[in-house]
Each structure stands twice: as C-alpha cells, then as structure tokens.
Structure 1
Amino acid sequence: METKTLGHTNIEVGAIGLGAMPMSISGRPPESEAIAVIHRALDLGVTLIDTADSYCQDESDKHHSEQLIAKALQSYSGDKSRIFVATKGGLMRPGGTWKLNGDPKHIRGAIARSFEALGGDKPIDLWQYHAPDPAYAIAESLAPAKEAVEAGKIRYIGVSNFSVKQIEEARRVVEIVSVQNQYNPWHRNPETEGVLDYCEREGLTFFPWSPLGGSRRVGNLQDIRAIAQLATEKGVSIYCIVLAWLRAKSPCILPIPGASKVSSIEDSVRAIEVQLSPAEVRQIDDGI
C-alpha cells in the first residue's frame, strides 16, 4: 500500500487507516468478526489503527476497543513490525453518553490504563487528546501526556477536535504530530476554519474522523449526484469516491474510515487506486 509519513517523524504508515470505533460501540459485531476485520485490514496493507479509550458502550466497558485491538494483534500471524496504534483519551461514557474530562488526574490515569489495555509491553504509538475541555487549560490537560512521553509510555502526541488557536497552544506544551477533526461532505469546517491549511503548512498529519458522514449520514451519500456519477464512471463505490476526494484535498490527509465488516475495509482500501482530477474534485465541491 502507498504510505505517508506521520507528521515530522520518520514513521511511515499506510495511506488508509482503520477506524476502530464501530467494532466497540453499541451494535458492535461479535468479537470474532471484529478480529477478522482487523486481520483483513492488516493483510491489505493497513498499518495504522485509530481507537480511543472511550470506544465502548459505557464506563463499565471502558477500553474495550484497545483491548480488542491488543487481542487481534496478539493472534495475528503476519508481520506486526510496522503496525501503529493511535488511541485517544479525555472523554467519558457515562450511560453511553459522551462527556469531556480534561482533568489532569483523569488524563494521567487514562494514559496508564490505555498503556495496559494495549498490552503494556511497549509505548503507546500515538496518544491523542480527544477533545479540549474548557474547564481546564490545554497546558494542564496535556501535562500528563508530556510526562508519559518522558517516561517512555507514549511515543508521539496528537490532538483531536482542536481549532488552529488550540493546536498552537498545545504545541507550546508538547510536540504535536497530528490533528484529528471531523471532515466529510457535510462537515467541511477544516477547510473554512483554516485547520487543514495549518496542518499542511506545518507538516502535521490530518486524520478526518467520520470521513463518510457517520452512521446517520453515510446512507445519504448516494443522493449527492456528483459523487454518484463519478462512482459509476470509475466503477467503484461511492465510499471510494469520498475517500479519494478527501485524499485529493491535501497531501497531509490520511483517512481513517471505520469498519465492522471485512467487506467495508476491503472497499475502503480500494480508494487508494482512485485518482480524482482537480476538475473532478471541484465537481464534488460544487455538488455538496
């Protein structure tokens, strides 16, 4: 698979990643099926898996996704030397809801638990602050992550759901290699708010979360005429077209489409082969 360099590191990862959330939240597949999805992704050349401690059903189920990934990697018979797991911390799941928690004490404990959930035998490849909590200064919330890097528990740090100003604030505390914000045909804020331009200019990797619109909107992609037309012309799925559109937007973009079925990750990886011309990108831009 084509690869991309992660931020200013020397780490090369597959140009399409695997979003692990659908395999751990409500409606998740049986564990054996989820592990089959992860193994198939790795067989196809995917080397980056994105997860979070909050990818679970509720607080009693916390770290489910990380534990699932660790179990899948342990049983994988292929080459595991280049597999890179990115996780996140800073959200709670009380009663299945999503709640910010940037308390440094919580962050410190969350990092320790993520480290153990992912196996506890090597540093977390990439730890991302899931979303800024206005109750705490960004410097306060990121202090435990900086400590964890110094202690050898984390290799690299990223941020998620951050504005340009917040990214700059985070970079004054720790080195940041990536930004993960929502970006899809219905949510193009990274374009309009300058985050995408900033990441490209500063050499940060940009992970678009919910690249296909999430479970509530993915079914509506077929109603976007420009996307449907290009999918027919190129003989690929509408999902491949959307992922190709995102990749064409900036060289810093690395999509992480979620999957809970083997067929889904197989289709997402096909997007690597889809090339969109500038005119075709504009065609989609104008049609959404």
Structure 2
Amino acid sequence: MKTQQLGATSVSISTIGLGGMPLSLSGRPSEAEAIAVVHRALDLGVTLLDTADSYCQDETDKHHNERLFAKALQQYNGNTSQVIVATKGGLMRPNGSWTRNGNPDHLRQTIRESFEALGGKQAIALWQYHAPDPVYSISASLAPVREAVEAGLIRYVGVSNFSVEQIQQAREVVDIVSVQNQYNPWYREPEQDGVLAYCEQETLTFLPWSPLGGSRRVKNLPEIQPIAQLAQEKDVSVYCLVLAWLRAKSSCVVPIPGASKVSSIEDSVKAADLDLSTIEVEKIDQATLI
C-alpha cells in the first residue's frame, strides 16, 4: 500500500483509508462481519480508519463505531502501531436524525468519551470537528479541542464540512492538519469553492467523504458510460476507478470509502495502485458534468 504524509506532520497514512460509518448505522453487519472488514483492510495495508462519535443508530448507541474499531484493533494479530484512527465530534443522532452541536461543554464531554471508547490509553490520533454549528463561533467550539490537545487527549486536529474562511478561523485557535468535505463525481464543490486548492497550498490532507456518492448514488456509477467503458479498459470496477480519479485530482486527497463487506474494501484498495493519465481524468471530469 502506498503512503503519504498526514498534513505537514511526520505521520504516514495509507493513500486509501477505510470509512467506518456503514459498519454502525441501521442495517449494519454483525459485529463479527464488521471486524472481519477492518481486519482485511489492515491486512491490505490500510492504516487510516475514519470514524465518529455519531456513527451509530441513535443517541442511545453513541460511540458504537469507535468502540468497534477499538475492539477490532485489539483483536488483530498483526502490527497496529502505524494505524491512525481519525474520529469526529459535533453531530448528534436524536432518533436517528443528524443535527449539529458545537456547544463547547458538549464537545469537551464527547472528546473524553471518544478517548475512552477508543481504548483510553493513547491520545486520539486525529480528532475532527464534524461540522460548524452556527449557534457557536468556531473559536468557542474549538476552545475545548485546544484544551484536549494540551491535556494529551488529542494528538492532531482536523475539520469537516468547512469553507476556506472557516478553516482559516479554526487555524487561529488550534493547528489543523486535515479537512474532510464531501467530494465525489456528483459533488465537485471542493474544486470550485477553493477548499481543495487551499489544502494543497497549506499542506493539509483532504479526506473526501462519500467518495462514491453515498448509498443512494453509488449504484448509478455503472450507468455512466464513459466511466464504465474506462473501467472495463483498465480491468477494474467503476468504484475503484472513481477512487483513483479522486486521488489523481490532487496529491493531498486521501479517499476514505466505507465498506460493510470484505469484498468492498478489497476492491477499494486497488485504487492505490491505479494511476490515471491527464486525458483519462478529463474523460471522467466531463462524464460527471453531463
């Protein structure tokens, strides 16, 4: 598995990560199946596992995915010293819905809970503010995050669903190493709003969430003829091709596709070794603009 640096840190991460959300929402696989997915990802060289306190069914199930990752790592027979677990805080799951909560007291509490859910022995490798809450200033919401860094609960900090201006505001409070925004063939906003260019310029890792379009759109990828044709020519799946396309868009991009089956992560990691030409990238660009 190829690797690259996490932001401007000395930490190396795999060029394809594993998103844990499908392992913990409604319709999730059994715990044994979920752990098998994580273990297979580790076997294949994946060292970036992306989770969140809100990857769960509802508030009664909070921190489910973090606990799952911690258990999977504990039970893994191989070396996990290089594995980076990136979690997030700032979203709530009342009755299974998604709402924002940037209350500093809440974030202070959920950081502690995430620390415990992930094992309670080592600092959270990467903690990300899941989405800015307009009720609270970014500086107010990130104050307890800075405190957690100083207290040794968090090693590195990232942000998610942030604009360039919001990233800049966050960096005035605490050092930021990564940005996680939506980016896929149907949602190309990072190319247009300056976030991707800013991450390149400032040496921030860009983690595209929903890289394949999410559960509602991923099934439509085989129907995009230019993508299907190019995938056939490359002898790869359309899903692997799109992940390779995202990687080709910028050297700072590290896709974190979700997986609830072993076969899915086996397919995704092939994108780490699939290099696309400029012409091939443009073909996909044009296909997704139609």
SS of 1:216's equivalent in the other structure is helix
Q: How does 1:81-120 map to 2 (within 5 A)?
A: 81-120=81-120
Pair 1:170 & 2:170 matched: yes
Distance in 1 (CA, whole Å) between partners of 2:254 and 2:164 is 18
Matched, 1:196 2:196: yes
Deviations 1:200-236 (A, max 9, x none): 0100000000000000000001111121011000100
Give the superposition deviation at 1:237: 0.2
Equivalent residue number for residue 159 of structure 2 = 159
Q: Which residue does the alignment assign to 1:213?
A: 213
Q: Deviations over 1:18-53 (max 9, x none)?
A: 000000001100000000000000000000000000
Q: Is the 8 Å Cα contact of residues 2 and 273 (structure 2) preserved in structure 1? A: no
Q: What is the alpha-carbon distance in structure 2 between the residues aligned to residue 43 and residue 274 of structure 1?
A: 19
| CA shift for structure 1 position 60 | 0.1
1:85 match: secondary structure: strand
SS at match of 2:13: strand
1:241 is matched with which residue? Answer: 241
Question: Where do 5+ consecutive residues of structure 2 fail to align?
Answer: none
Matched residues in 2 for 1:285 and 1:178: separation? 24
Alignment correspondent of 2:225? 225
* Pairwise CA distance, 1:275: 1.2
**In 2, distance between residues paired with 1:218 and 1:189?**
18
Q: Is the 8 A contact 2:107 2:144 kept in 1?
A: yes
Deviates more, 1:46-55 or 1:271-280: 271-280
Aligned to 1:63: 63
For structure 1, the residue ranges without an aligned partner over 5 or more in a row are: none
What secondary structure does 1:209 align onto?
coil
Distance 1:230 1:87 in 2: 34
Aligned equivalents of 2:144, 2:229: Cα separation in 1: 49
Partner SS state of residue 109, structure 1: helix
CA distance in structure 1 between the partners assigned to 2:155 and 2:206 by the alignment: 18
Alignment of 1:266 onto 2:260: no
CA distance in 2, matches of 1:273, 1:118: 31
What's the offset of the Cα at 1:8? 1.0
Q: Whole-Å Cα distance in 1 between the matches of residues 269 and 243 of structure 2?
A: 9
Give the Å deviation of 1:58: 0.1
Query: How many pairs were matched up?
Result: 288
| CA distance in structure 2 between the partners assigned to 1:258 and 1:126 by the alignment | 18
The yes-or-no answer on 1:49 pairing with 2:53 is: no
Deviations 1:184-207 (A, max 9, x none): 000000001010000001000000
Instruction: State the alpha-carbon separation in 1 of the partners of residues 30 and 272 from structure 2.
Output: 28
**TM-score, normalised on structure 1?**
1.00
| Displacement of 1:153 | 0.3
- Root mean square deviation, CA, Å: 0.4
Aligned-partner SS, 1:190: helix
1:276 corresponds to 2:271: no
Which residue does 1:254 correspond to in 2? Answer: 254
For 1:73-117, what per-residue CA distance to the aligned partner results, in whole angstroms no more than 9, with x for missing partners?
A: 110000011011000000000000000000000000000000000
Q: 1:10 Cα deviation (Å)?
A: 0.2
Write the distance in 2 (CA, Å) between the matches of 1:198 and 1:37: 33
CA distance in structure 1 between the partners assigned to 2:149 and 2:265 by the alignment? 32
Q: Could you tell me which amino acid in structure 2 is paired with residue 31 of structure 1?
A: E
Q: CA offset at residue 55 of structure 1?
A: 0.1
TM-score by length of 2: 0.99
> For residues 72 and 286 of structure 1, what CA distance do their matches in structure 2 show?
40
Cα drift, residue 287 of structure 1? 1.0
2:181 is paired with a residue whose SS is strand
> For 2:144 and 2:25, how far apart are their aligned partners in 1?
27
Identity %: 69
In 2, Cα distance between equivalents of 1:236 and 1:88 = 32
